[in-house]
Amino acid sequence: MLTMTYIPVILFKDGSFYEIGDPALEDIDLAAVRAARPADWGRWRQEGAQFVLTDHKGRPDSFKLQDGEFFKAFPADGTASLSGEYRSISGGGNSAMGGEVMIASESRYHFQPGGTYTTGRSTGAMNSGAMSGAGSTVASRRNGAGRFSAERYTITLERPDGRSERRFFAFGSQKSPPLIDKDMLFLGDTVYSLDD
């Protein structure tokens, strides 16, 4: 099984970039994060239609904006703009290379226009037994619910027990010049797609 992973990158005016994780950007002490996690930082420059990102080890990579690998992200324009069921699939194992182990995980968020959400998470693992002669399968499921608010590049998820978390948020984009694509969003550093 192969999955494509996108990494949200913040380009700063001073020519630095940051591969953001889960926390909301406005809650991060950037100087402290830069000192603690230098591998998440680098330098960027624009050369015509190309963006050149050079990582912390000095290795450059070139991207063209809106080519499918490198695209503009859009902020939320209020809670009402976020509606629908989104899912993310990840996994691992060695079955794609002739092995016998496969692990898959699906995470879902269903956002309602009134500011409520539900979540679901499913995880499964399989060992075919092709090499060992003993196969096995396991699965688990978790669900949750709460209220949310989304403003600019931050989403706040509030649980019924009063706990809340603020995470990075952005919509994807399509076409050139870029247009917002609400079929794709980032929650932290994880990409979710609208489940049609």
The pLDDT tens digits of the residues spanning 151-182 come to 999 999 999 899 999 999 999 999 999 999 99
**DSSP state letter for 158:** E
3-state secondary structure of 21: coil
Model pLDDT, residue 3: 60
How big is the CA angle at 7 (ends 6 and 13), to the nearest 5 degrees? 130
Domain 84-169, CATH: 2.40.128
Model pLDDT, residue 134: 59
pTM equals: 0.84
Q: What is the pLDDT of residues 38-81, one digit of tens each?
A: 999 999 999 998 999 999 999 999 999 999 889 999 999 888 88
Strand-pair category, 16-19 with 9-11: antiparallel
d(Cα 190, Cα 86) in Å, to the nearest integer?
A: 11
d(Cα 156, Cα 150) in Å, to the nearest integer?
A: 6
